[in-house]
Structure 1
Amino acid sequence: MVIPKKIELEAATSNTDPQAPIDFFNAVGEKYKTAEVASEGSVERFYNLAGHKIRLCFAGSALIPYLTPALSHLEIEAVANPELTVCLWDSESTHTAMLPPPWSKDCYHPKRGEIIGYNTDRIHTSFQWGSYALSLLDRDRNLGIYWISTVKQIPYWETGAPLRTIFNVWLNQREVQLVHAGAVGLPEGGVLLAGKGGSGKSTSALACLNSNLFYASDDYCLISPTPTPTVFSLYNTGKKNADDVERLPFLASAIRNRDRLDTEKALYFIHQTFPEKILNHFPIKAILIPRIAGTKDTTLEPTSSTSALTALAPSTMIQLPGTGKEACQMMKTVADRVPCYELRVGTEIEQIPQTIFQLLSQGIH
């Protein structure tokens, strides 16, 4: 597929046949069936995402080591009627080529990857930059398709947070929103950590693994505003700048890509090393906005729900295809319903979980 340098929205949308997105989805679905036959059948995995049972059907096993470890803490026994099925395949191992794209190079959204003219109320189509992966979803049939040319193109960050686009678009219809945020806490309640890269969000979340607190996320998680604001763990992974891993020495054994830290962030698989520290869900008692304070001590300062939404929404909407006004409304509802604070992160790492634990122990409402 050709990566465009620019996009012309009006020209791209005006010449698309309304049936084209469905026809393309169906044609790719036939390609998946061919890949499945070539692989002598499918390999199935089942997961519980925010209370919803989903099935991943792999044509062969090549993708499994790359796309399932991050979800391992949510794996369940097979169910007869999953709510969502996602079919996954790669061309290299299945010897099944993808169809040539029926759209022009100007149809790619330059940042999020949606294919202009191939997204409707029923069909979602997007191309993921970096991994060169195609994601499709038929909302009417609760059926997704994920394709990539070869596992060699899967970057480490995709291994740490796979299938974000399909999960985001499908769950959004069910009042569950995938957000760019961390989450830590206790079974009776915890905090959402909202902030862009470099704010101290990952450090704050991962530091809590060496404390009385539990872990749900450092980068992506699920939230729902109803009936009460709740966070759901999605991936059991964490990421840290390679030149900063020594600040979290207790996580050294959890680094998955130690041989590539010269070009990648450290990628942690928490479930493999600290399975007892993961919480799959808990009520959201507060939103914290980490800021690097440059001081020794970590402190909290009350702030507004507007500040929390500003820290949470832009990075979520920029990173996740299919995110629109419904997503923004869910994030706003959560921010409006819980107290919000700046978490002024100090240099003494152990003070971060201590400060969060103290806030939760005070019985915030």
Structure 2
Amino acid sequence: MTVDPLQERAPVDFIRAILKRAADAAKASAGRSLRLGPVATRLHEISGGGNDLVDRILRAAKAPEAGVPAARMTLIVSVGTDSPLGPPPATWPFSIDSRASFQRTVWSPQDGVALTSDEQTGVWNLMDLREHIGLLWIADPRLIPSWEYGAPLRHHLHWVALQSGASLVHAAAFLSPGGGILLSGPGGSGKSTTSVAALAAGWKILSEDLCWADASGAGITVRCTYSSLKVAAQSRSSFAFVDEIVRGHDHEEFEKTLVYLDGDVARTAAERMKGIFCLSGAFASKTTIRPCSKAVAFQLVAPSTLFLMRTSAMETVSVLRKLIDRLPVFHITLGADPREAIDVLGRFAGSLE
């Protein structure tokens, strides 16, 4: 089938036009500087009445990091009809083969633009990849899904990370007494509960779900992207120490409880990793760790990361392959007690060179 070149260019031209309108509107505001994980950010809000919403969205991403930032970004936030941009399109405005999906993407590094849309919730993300100018474009704050509060701006942070040889990776990351640990696995495999157990053991938390993994150097370093934990109700009801951790920190109730960690708990400096521990979702009475092949590790790490990021598959896979190639990988089956699992993990990490 022949693709009309004009139609093929239409999404790219649309992104550029919207970003220019947003940048022009942002000139009227002084903006404010803040740190979103490892990214030094200049934030401009171009819609009236969105201040509380913006602060709530950014709350989980405000993990201030000392020292030189890993990247820089200008972020423009536009909410609702009061914005000079108005709301994003209610439906995808270009030709498509199927309307079965509400989520669509544009990834065009050769043109320097990227976009993710969710027409069902009215949350669009756009970016000028060359200038690191991003737009968070929201139709109606009442439709924002809970995951946008738990892991806000993941697309923008991922796009910026890729420009510096890093990637957002779907994994938990801890700094144990024995060294840095990456814990990967699909949703429901135990990352969040193990993260709370690590917190209870006094470990520093770099990530509970999405971390900034840098593969540009000789080693693999991870930075804290979000200062938050998402805790399932079942975990709170099953383990008293989990509920104590939740009640001991500021939190909000969504489908999962969103716990906000302070700077003394969420580790913000870049930390070198000693190994990747892969969860398959299987559980046993006691925690066991055994070697894992690189191929199996990639099959466990890559799909969920690519699903969450939605764009830049080739670039993301390149970083993930470096991550797995350079670190020892293991398969871990979690025991019934998350604190026992943490004890086993910590001792094992300490045995690695």
Count of matched residue positions in the alignment of Structure 1 and Structure 2:
341
1:182 and 2:172 are equivalent in the alignment: yes
**Residue ranges of structure 1 left out of the alignment (5+ in a row):** 1-9
Partner of 2:34: 46
Residue 289 of structure 2 contacts residue 332 of structure 2 at CA under 8 Å; is this kept in 1?
yes
SS in structure 2 at match of 1:221: strand
1:276 and 2:271 are equivalent in the alignment: no
Partner of 1:56: 43
Which of these residues, 282, 286, 293, is aligned with residue 304 of structure 1? Answer: 293
1:157 and 2:157 are equivalent in the alignment: no
Tell me the CA shift for residue 28 of structure 1. 4.7
* CA distance, structure 2, for counterparts of residue 142 and residue 154 of structure 1: 24
* Alpha-carbon distance change, 212 to 360 in structure 1, aligned in 2, over 3 angstroms: farther
Q: Scaled by the length of structure 2, what TM-score is found?
A: 0.85
Residues 45-194 of structure 1 correspond to what in structure 2 (within 5 A)? 45-47=33-35, 49-50=37-38, 52-59=39-46, 60=48, 61-74=51-64, 83-92=72-81, 94=83, 97-98=86-87, 100=89, 102-104=93-95, 106=97, 110=101, 113-115=104-106, 121-128=111-118, 131-186=121-176, 189-194=179-184
Q: Scaled by the length of structure 1, what TM-score is found?
A: 0.82
**Structure 2: which amino acid aligns with 1:98?**
P
* Alpha-carbon distance change, 29 to 106 in structure 1, aligned in 2, over 3 angstroms: farther
Q: Which moved more, 1:25-34 or 1:205-214?
A: 25-34
1:243 and 2:238 are equivalent in the alignment: no
Which of these residues, 331, 334, 339, is aligned with residue 342 of structure 1? Answer: 331
* Alpha-carbon distance change, 144 to 31 in structure 1, aligned in 2, over 3 angstroms: closer
* CA distance, structure 2, for counterparts of residue 187 and residue 47 of structure 1: 27
Q: Which moved more, 1:191-200 or 1:85-94?
A: 85-94
Residue 21 of structure 2 contacts residue 85 of structure 2 at CA under 8 Å; is this kept in 1?
no
Which of these residues, 7, 11, 17, is aligned with residue 16 of structure 1? Answer: 7
* Alpha-carbon distance change, 303 to 160 in structure 1, aligned in 2, over 3 angstroms: same
Output one character per residue of 1:294-326: Cα deviation in whole Å (capped at 9) or x when no partner.
Answer: 433222112122222111101111121223112
Partner of 1:7: none
**Residue ranges of structure 2 left out of the alignment (5+ in a row):** none
Partner of 1:256: 251
Which of these residues, 264, 267, 274, is aligned with residue 258 of structure 2? Answer: 267
Output one character per residue of 1:24-59: Cα deviation in whole Å (capped at 9) or x when no partner.
Answer: 43345425655885xxx3542321644x42222222
Tell me the CA shift for residue 68 of structure 1. 1.4
Q: Percent of pairs identical after alignment?
A: 22
**Structure 1: which amino acid aligns with 2:58?**
T
Tell me the CA shift for residue 142 of structure 1. 2.0
SS in structure 1 at match of 2:61: helix
